[in-house]
A and B are shown apart, each in its own frame.
Chain A
Amino acid sequence: MSVEKLKSDLEKVLKKAFESIQKSENSEEIEKARILYLGKKSQINSLMKSLSNLDSQQKAEFGKYLNEAKAKLTSFLEDKKLSISSKVKTINDNFDFSMPGRNSSIGSLHPITKIMDYSIEIFEDLKFECVEGPEIEDDFHNFTALNIPESHPARAMHDTFYFEDGYLLRTHTSSVQIRAMREKNLPIRVIAPGKVYRKDSDITHTPMFHQIEGLYIDTNVSFSNLKSIINTFLKKFFENDDLKIRFRPSYFPFTEPSAEVDIEYINSRGEKSWLEILGCGMVHPNVLKMAKIDPSIHSGYAFGLGVERLAMLKLEISDLRLFYENDLRFLEQFKRAKL
């Protein structure tokens, strides 16, 4: 057998081998090609065996040729193997897109918290600072400093829970504002959110509820400024620039002039009515005096919001009692991060 013939046989095998390695798409095919072209029973191996029939010069010549070819093929195969193994590919499994996931980890925030935080954020944007104070108050901070003396008929408006030591549960967070006025430097621009208590329990009252009260004291604070801040807040809160708002004269011992604010409310039947939403006014000079602020230099406005009422309107909750039953069927409806 001539070396020429052997070489041409080898060329044919090599050509097929390179092609088939080149075509391989995965490690199984590569392995098949390896066994077929480089394995013990491969043609290349049998060509190897035919070396014994050659003379020594031919043996050396063809042997070298064969070995080089084999090395080339091996390295080509290894390269291919590597390129296949590092290739990015989609894993085909039985993933069911429609299956529910493992347990969710989203709980719920109480709607009072959500409305409170939402309102606080609006006021913080309007540069109000949040302040807090005790829920057990003394008579001075809850009444006297707010121009509600012992015999004042307005005390009839506040049915108050008392303790034996004469202390009481605050009936409004105005008491926190009194503390702010006495402790902070002017100008003061604060809101006081928190729990308040009144001795009242029926369909429209709970003995504990939440308030946000606001106070701004500076030189030249006016009633028209108060109208502006209330308008801005209510329009932002109800996300309605066309919200109809009206101010009505009212009476609070701690403000003069005092106002009650109504918004226009359209029920499901399309009937319009006015709905009382908050009370406000210009801080009474006696309140300023008691906080050691000179009413001839400084003036201020104050307002108070009932959080439950806002929540009922904003979230369309019809029954006040739902807030304090803590029934998951109610609570779990409030999972969203934003209102």
Chain B
Amino acid sequence: MKLTKSWLEDYLDIEENIANLCNDLTMAGLEVDEVATLTSDHLIDIDLTPNRADCLSVMGIARELNCINNKYNLKKIKKEIDLEPTCENINLQLKVIDKEICPRFAFMTLRNISEAKKTPENVARKLQDIGIGLVHPIVDILNYINIDLGQPMHAYDLDKISNEISIRLSKKDEEFVALDGKRYKLNKGNIIICDNNQIISLAGIIGAEHCAVSSSTKNILIESAFFPPKLIANKARALKLQTESSQRFERGVDYNLPKIALKALSNIISSNQICYFSEIGMFESREFLPKAKEVNISFKKIRQVLGFEIDDAEIENILISLGGDFDREKNKIINPSFRYDLEIHADYVEEVARLYGYDNIPIVSEKIDLKPDAKFLSNIISRQVKDYLYKNNFSECINYSFTNDDPEESFDWKNDSFTEHKRISNFMSIEQNKLRSNISSSLIKNIEHNFNVNPKESYRFFEISTVFGKKEENILTCVLSGKKNEENWDAEQRKFDKYDMTTIIEDLSRLFGLKKNDFSYKISSITKSKKDYIILSVCLDDLTKKIKNNQPESYENYSKFPYIRRDLSFFIDHTVSYEKISKLVEEINVHSLKKILLFDLYDGKGVPEGKKSLGIGFIFQDENKTLTHEEADKNIERILSELKNHFDIELRK
């Protein structure tokens, strides 16, 4: 809402300087966004909250300033004078199909408008100061009254409409060309005003082009009506059409204004001798006008919610200043017709706090009697995982949850082909038209970006985020690319491989007291544009669940007797996983076997085709006695014979 200080001064005595005036407005909830200096005036731009429709006029803001502080003294409101009409009103046949859609419709006829007439100087200057261009003398005066009082009105070229008018709700797909020259296809339920032939206006939003006022217009019908906010709200927005008028009607215009606004119009027309004007015509169904709301005020509750001792007198003064009816005896208050936002007790609590000044309310710390709650597990686990990764050279990324139709997006985090993406109906760009089902493609893009702008030899990225597969899941994804180490005087220069991810899984298992197969994860690698990427994804929801069931950490006695180690080196088929071997050894259940140690993996020169060479150490130790070499030999014989029974192995010399 833009207005000038001098316009405000039509209503108020303002002694304060502009800075104090703006501060008073801001601290009462009418946030001043910007102040511009004009020649001998100031342009104030107020960022109004949507509940304060009553402040969408200069009069409303003046009234509000007077509530804020009575140093802003209201001038004797310039009473509009009842003038003798200078012409006949039209014999309007108005049919309101559904009374509640337009409970009040006032109108006036203007005749004999001459092309030579200009917009009154006072009106023109005020509109131009706040950035509203001049269109036509009558339209300009209507715009002026809209800003001044907050009543939107509409002017029809009387010679282009019939005198039989109906107001009804639109059917779906009815069309009309608005005065902005655009054709609109209406939804069901817009309030429309029609004459015998066609739609002449989209009520409270915009008029039709064919009957709009132009420089050649001779006679005008002025509409000054009340439309219920609920029936205007969202309608203009749905048509991507927002006007000064719709903005006011959807938030709520004072239903007492239509007649006052027409009177103001007649006063301006008369004093500037612009044209003839008729008396005011009126159709109304009072029972459908908004009802005043009565609220019981509890001073105790006000003090309780605000948390400090504010006197009765102070509360009373504030409530009275609001301009509604406050009954001191019964502690009942009725909201004024311009304050739609005052409906319940809490609304009055806010008024008291606001006009008392939020900054004047004391700061009182609460006495909390809460048992320290268990911290939210999943959050804590994410934090610990992030901490581990960041201390192991990973950099954390955060990407948008949106993604596009790239083929690499068509996998979920488990790397399964995926087609059931959540698609956003009203996406902003095709690049962000659905929700991602994996994090790895985002991280790969991050690596590509970094490689292009600032190449490095080694990338370790991770991200923890919700992904949107068949359900929402909280996933950790790590991506490795390039060499294990940046160039360094000593560093081992090898490429990352999947075993680097195995280390992370083993570390995470150890950190949370789990076995590495206790929770779901996936390790994979892909090649894209000649670069290799190693990917690890872990389901944190699953990890969290497993950790919740975990036994607490505790001490176990360890054996104080010496151990004996026996090593086996053998060729085995490539397809036999280490896990199969270790599981088998576990199942043999050799009593004193303490640990298995894979100390060598080799498949180069000297190893038969399709085989690999493994070196495994077996560590034997007894809990209660010193183990003999004979016992160790017997154990290793047993393990070897079982291995031979299950797999095709050949011992290496």
Contact = CB atoms under 8 A, between A and B. Distances in A.
Interface of A: 99-100, 102-110, 112-113, 117, 120, 124, 127, 129-132, 134-136, 150-157, 161-164, 169, 187, 189, 193, 195, 197, 199, 201, 206-208, 216, 218, 220-225, 227-229, 231-232, 246-251, 256-260, 282, 284-285, 299, 323-329, 331-332, 335
A249 to B, nearest CB: 3
Given A136-B468, A156-B237, A258-B350, A207 B428 contact: yes
Interface in B352-397: 353-354, 358-359, 361-366, 368, 370, 372-376, 378-379, 383, 386-387, 389-397
Interface stretch (B277-285, B450-458, B574-582): B450-458
B396 A246 contact: no
Contacts of B396: 107-110, 113, 331
Nearest to A135: B466
Nearest to B372: A127
A327 B398 CA distance: 11
Nearest to B47: A250
**Interface-centre pick from B368, B396, B461 (highest chain A CB count, 10 A):** B396
A151 B233 contact: yes
Contacts of B394: 107
Contact of B390 (A107, A130, A150, A228): A107
A299 B52 CA distance: 25
Interface string B459-477: 0110001101000100000
A131 B426 contact: no
Given A153-B251, A195-B466, A132 B379 contact: yes
Contacts of B196: none
B624 interface: no
Contacts of A161: 424, 426-427
B378 A132 contact: yes
B218 interface: no
A281 to B, nearest CB: 8
Interface residues of B, number: 90
Contacts of A259: 358
A162 B424 CA distance: 6
Interface in B197-249: 229-230, 233-234, 237
Contacts of B602: none
A207 B432 contact: yes
A246 B359 contact: yes
Given A129-B373, A223-B305, A248 B358 contact: yes
26 contacts: A103-B393, A106-B393, A107-B394, A135-B468, A154-B50, A161-B427, A163-B423, A189-B373, A195-B401, A220-B304, A222-B307, A224-B308, A224-B361, A225-B365, A227-B358, A246-B358, A248-B29, A250-B49, A251-B52, A256-B350, A257-B346, A257-B354, A259-B358, A284-B346, A299-B304, A326-B399
B209 to A, nearest CB: 26
A325 B379 contact: no
A257 B424 contact: no
Given A163-B425, A224-B308, A256-B350, A102 B488 contact: yes
Given A246-B359, A282-B305, A135 B472 contact: yes
A257 B307 CA distance: 13
B157 interface: no
B486 to A, nearest CB: 6
A201 B424 contact: no
B446 interface: yes
B67 to A, nearest CB: 12
B230 A151 contact: yes
Contacts of B28: 249
A134 B366 contact: no
Contacts of A136: 422, 435, 468, 472
A228 B366 contact: yes
B490 A102 contact: yes
Contacts of B456: 328
Given A229-B365, A246-B27, 17 more contacts: A102-B491, A103-B491, A104-B393, A109-B387, A120-B379, A127-B372, A130-B379, A136-B422, A155-B234, A163-B422, A189-B368, A195-B465, A222-B304, A222-B306, A224-B307, A282-B349, A326-B450
B402 interface: yes
Contacts of B305: 222-223, 282, 299
B375 A124 contact: yes
A123 to B, nearest CB: 11
B395 A331 contact: yes
Contact of A249 (B229, B237, B350, B435): B350
B276 to A, nearest CB: 39
Nearest to A323: B398
Interface in B153-182: none
A248 B26 contact: yes
B420 interface: no
B364 A107 contact: no
A326 B27 CA distance: 40
Given A156-B237, A256-B350, A285-B344, A131 B29 contact: no
Contacts of B69: none
Contact of B376 (A131, A197, A325, A329): A131
A112 B50 contact: no
B31 interface: yes
B370 A105 contact: no
Given A228-B365, A250-B29, A326-B446, A256 B349 contact: yes
Contacts of B344: 256, 285
Closest CB pairs A-B (n = 8): A222-B307, A249-B29, A224-B307, A251-B49, A257-B350, A247-B358, A224-B364, A130-B376
B80 interface: no
Contacts of B229: 153
A153 B350 contact: no
A149 B449 CA distance: 43
Contacts of A195: 401, 465-466
A151 B249 CA distance: 13
B50 A163 contact: no
Contacts of A227: 358, 361-364
**Interface-centre pick from B359, B397, B453, B485 (highest chain A CB count, 10 A):** B397
Contacts of B453: 327, 329
B555 interface: no
